Structures are given as structure tokens and as C-alpha cells.
Amino acid sequence: MKEMNKILTMIFAITLIGLGFYFNSIQAEGGLGFGLSEITYLIPAFFAYLFGFLYITAKQNNYIPLEKYQRYEVELYKKPVENGLTKKFHDIRFRELREVLNNYYEEGMNIIDMCCGLCMWNKEKLEVDGLDINLNTLKIAQVEGRINKAIGLEVMKNEIESDSYDIVINMASLEHMKEPSKTLLEFKRILKEDGLLILEVPYDVPFSLLKILFWLRCFWEGSIYRNEYYLKKGGHLHHFSPRSIRRLLEGIGFEIIELNVIKSLSTIVVAKK
């Protein structure tokens, strides 16, 4: 049965390669404005998924310079969490984060959300510090009571003392980082001994629900409405599968306590320093 699965997946992969070349050639002739070359990306992604490679960095052209992250208006982040289908997606991951956190949080623990954005998950207004490079979102998160202390710095230049926090939260941002393993090491550094990292990354494998919905959004907002953020695929440089994120964390010395895949949309991991 396993062999059969492998043969079928190989046939599938070869078909994808064919489709990739086909769509790329159409695009090269200027026929279809939409980035159908995404399909070619499926090929390395597919093999990475199959064989559990670390993670894929096939899309460096999605890079968004830090100055741009700094300048984005609150609306860019607010709209998707407040409207329609994307709201449902965000509600699911915020709810999951709260449930996971409830299992580990004890009175008196200190928490930081690294790359917190609007910190929308914190409905209960727990005392949470927030770091983000974007001062616009930080300010709103603070005014609306979802973060306590606001740290407007770049994640790798955070100026936080070592062994400071019991819990570090990082949601939907590791995939934007140039060097995810260095970023994770930074989280490890600021965690206290036996502290917990609660990390969420998109479930970014071929044909996952996330991938399909994200494509549709990028097509709609980017290719149709020419929103630069979505044209750059939301700045996703890395594409993690549950297996690859586990490997990455274990590789730098985190102990995985829990790993949950949320409805083929995202992966949430609890890892101990």
C-alpha cells in the first residue's frame, strides 16, 4: 500500500512539473497576468513534504523590506481579521492559541508576543508584552488593551535580556523571517530555563486548505486589486509543513511538547527551552 502511494505521488509530481512548465510558458508570453508560476513552486514543496526537508526558501522574491513592514497601515492587518472568510480563518487560529495557552499559563507567568501585530488573539486581555516593528499596529494593540508593554523593535534587535520570559508567543511571522533558525534561537535566548515557546506557522504544503485560500486571496487582492503586499504573497519566504517545523525546532534544541495541526490551515507547536 505504501509503495502504491509512493508511485501515485510520483505520477502526481511529474504531472505537476508538466503543468508548471506549461503555465510558465503561457505567462512568459504575457498571456495570464496571474502568477500561475506558483504551480512550479509546488514541485519542490511537494518533494519537501514527501521527504520532510527542513523548509523551503523558494520564494525570496516575496521579500518585503523592513521599512515597508514599518509603514503598513493598521487597515492591512485589521481588514482580514474583521471580514468574511479570512475572519473565520483568523478566529480559528486565535481560538486555538488561547486554548493552548490556557493549558500552560499559570498566574504570575510573564508572556511576550513577538511580532504581535494587533495581538488580536488576546481577547481576555492577559498581561502580555508585545514586540513588533510596526508602530501603527503596536499602538492600537496597546490602546485597545491587548498588550501591556509595547516594544517597537526588529525581532533580531530586540534588546530584551536573556532568560526574561516564561512564555514566548510567535504567530504567523516566522515564515516572513530571512533566517528562521536564528529567529528561533533569539526566542530561546529570551526564554527562561524550561520556558515555553508557542509558535504558529501556516500549514503551507501543496493543496492544504491554507495554500488554496491564500492563493485565492493573493489573486484577488494582489493580481486584481494590485495590493503590493499580496502581490508579494504576503511576504512569505518560507513554507513549513508540520514535519519541517518540528525538525527545525528540534534541530536547535527545543523539546516539542505538543504539535497540533489546525484544520489544514496552520500548525501550532508548544516547545520547551
In the complex, the residues that contact ligand SAM under the rule CB under 6 A are: 66, 69, 115-117, 120, 132-134, 137, 154-155, 171-173, 176
CA distance linking residue 97 with residue 167, whole number of Å:
12
Beta bridge partners of 267: 201, 261
Sheet of 128-131, strands arranged across = 150-151, 128-131, 111-114, 165-171, 191-202, 266-272, 255-262
Closer residue to ligand SAM, CB minimum distance, 120 or 210: 120
Closer residue to ligand SAM, CB minimum distance, 39 or 128: 128
> What's the gap between Cα 75 and its chain centre?
19
Q: Between 24 and 260, whose beta carbon lies closer to ligand SAM?
A: 260
Whether the Cβ atoms of residue 228 and residue 62 lie closer than 8 Å to each other: no
Least Å from the CB of residue 105 to ligand SAM: 18
Shortest separation between residue 175's beta carbon and ligand SAM, angstroms = 9
**Residue type present at position 163:** D
Cβ-contact 100, 261 below 8 angstroms:
no
Minimal distance, residue 135 CB to ligand SAM, in Å: 9
Report the residue number, 34 or 63, with the smaller CB distance to ligand SAM.
63
Least Cβ distance, residue 218 to ligand SAM (angstroms)? 13
Q: Which residue has the cell 508548544?
A: 270
